[in-house]
Structure 1
Amino acid sequence: MKPILLATAFILAPAGLASAADTNEGQAAYDWSGSYAGVDVGYAVGSSDHLVTSGGGDLNSPIDPNGFIGGIHIGLNREMASRFVLGAEADLMYAAVDGQTAFGSGGGALVKGEVKWSGSARLRAGYAYDRTLPYITAGVAAARYQVLVTTGGFGGDQPYREETHVGWTVGGGVEHALSDRWIARVEFRYSDFGSKALSAVNGFTTETHVDLQTHDIRVGLSYKF
């Protein structure tokens, strides 16, 4: 009896597969073309060095801020006949990303770094597997970064640098269309916001620099118009 059933299944299987293929061909493939907007939340791990150069030797204090980020994005996609998807996107993120370290070997003062916000304008490219779109992205990035010193005594925190750092960002991710309008995503990004010099105007007579890089992972939800 079992050989008969196996033979029957073997004979009917191609017909079943052909029927499923016909059904899939009858359904229109998802179209990624169009504009969209959405929200993101995530976590950023930063690397930041406060470098003081003087005749007595360099003093480097790694601040390395980290914390949560959240914000909005808006973009536009165009799907080609070859299933390649090209697009452009901009985002703006509020950041609760900070860190601190001892200033010098004495440990009497702390250097703090706080990322206030970050944003980017990027190009994107991906390949559509119907409702799933893996992609890469790269572009210009900016972040508002504040550096301050605190001694724990009278006067408290003393900010001596808050400026917008401009650099670049690169990353990749995967999007999946949950419906014709709603799209979920997960994305990883590396951003290098460059280095800023602190001049004598800030009260420093020696050459001082602060740089900032971040690695962040984000999840998001978009609405396609």
Structure 2
Amino acid sequence: MPVLSLYRPALLAASGLIALSATPAMAGAPHIGWENPELSIYGGPVITYESLTLSDTAVSQGLTTHGMSYGGLVGMDSRTGERSRVGLEAELSGSTASWSETQAGVGTARIGLGRDFFIGGKLGYMLAPRLYAYAKAGYTNLLVTADFTDTTGFRTHGSFSNSGWRGGAGLEYFLSKNARLRVEYRYSSYGDLSINGVKTGLTLDKHQVATSMTYGF
């Protein structure tokens, strides 16, 4: 028996699939609308892994910590060309990351992160019928909390917000006309942290890898 005859059923099936997929193209099938929809308003949850570095401007090496953040986003984007898109996006999240240090005879200091708000623009391009690559940039504002407990157990607490900027890039896959799955990298810088307008000499930078599922309306 010829060797090729063993693979004849698979070859016939593959040929059939190729023919079926090629037939609409040869027949001039219409463009599928949701490959690059005219306008989409969407929202969904966001889960993020983050690495944060708190640096002293007088010291070259900073303190790095890791954590998770959880939140949600809303946005809108619209087709500007056959494959290009532009839009706006806002996100609100909270973080589990914190730093703490104990000094004998003095007490324990802890710095934690509260809510993080972002709003910015988004520009992208359809790489394939369901695959969308984009870049984003905008304004971000982070709430920082500070706690100090002395050796007697007396605790003081304060919080302050700092503004910065965020840039990022990601990929979205259209699961359906309305549902998208996203993975994204972004970097945020909050500059010199200030308390009541007084600079602390500490700077904060954040690297994140985020995943989200959005649904369009």
TM-score range, shorter chain: 0.7 to 0.9
What are the within-5 Å matches in structure 2 for residues 129-144 of structure 1?
A: 129-144=128-143
Q: In structure 1, how many angstroms separate the alpha carbons of the residues matched to 2:173 and 2:109?
A: 42
- What does the per-residue CA deviation read over 1:152-179, in whole Å, with 9 as the maximum and x for residues that have no partner? 44314x33x5211101001111111111
- 1:26 correspondence with 2:25: no
- Please give the secondary structure, in 2, of the residue aligned with 1:48: strand
Match of 1:126 among 119, 124, 128: 124
Q: In structure 2, how many angstroms separate the alpha carbons of the residues matched to 1:60 and 1:80?
A: 45
Aligned identity (percent) is 21
Match of 2:182 among 180, 185, 196: 185
Q: In structure 1, how many angstroms separate the alpha carbons of the residues matched to 2:61 and 2:200?
A: 11
For the 8 Å contact 1:63–1:113, the answer to whether it is kept is no
Give the match for residue 203 of structure 2: 211
Q: In structure 1, how many angstroms separate the alpha carbons of the residues matched to 2:59 and 2:105?
A: 13
Deviation of the 1:212 alpha carbon: 1.5
2:95 corresponds to which letter in structure 1?
A
Q: In structure 2, how many angstroms separate the alpha carbons of the residues matched to 1:37 and 1:144?
A: 23
Give the match for residue 77 of structure 2: 77
Q: In structure 2, how many angstroms separate the alpha carbons of the residues matched to 1:187 and 1:223?
A: 17
- What does the per-residue CA deviation read over 1:64-99, in whole Å, with 9 as the maximum and x for residues that have no partner? 343221111011111233301111101000222212
Deviation of the 1:121 alpha carbon: 0.7
- Please give the secondary structure, in 1, of the residue aligned with 2:153: coil
Distance 1:193 1:17, change over 3 A: same
1:167 corresponds to which letter in structure 2?
G
Report the number of matched residues: 209
Q: Normalising by structure 2, report the TM-score.
A: 0.79
Deviation of the 1:197 alpha carbon: 3.7
Distance 1:208 1:179, change over 3 A: closer
Give the match for residue 47 of structure 2: 41
1:134 corresponds to which letter in structure 2?
A
Deviation of the 1:210 alpha carbon: 2.7
CA RMSD after TM alignment:
3.3
Q: Normalising by structure 1, report the TM-score.
A: 0.76
Distance 1:138 1:82, change over 3 A: same
Deviation of the 1:35 alpha carbon: 0.8
Q: In structure 1, how many angstroms separate the alpha carbons of the residues matched to 2:4 and 2:185?
A: 53
- What does the per-residue CA deviation read over 1:176-218, in whole Å, with 9 as the maximum and x for residues that have no partner? 111112111111111001212457x99xxxx732321111111
- 1:173 correspondence with 2:165: no
Give the match for residue 55 of structure 1: none
Task: Point out 4+ residue stretches in structure 1 off by more than 4 angstroms.
Answer: 1-6, 13-19, 58-63
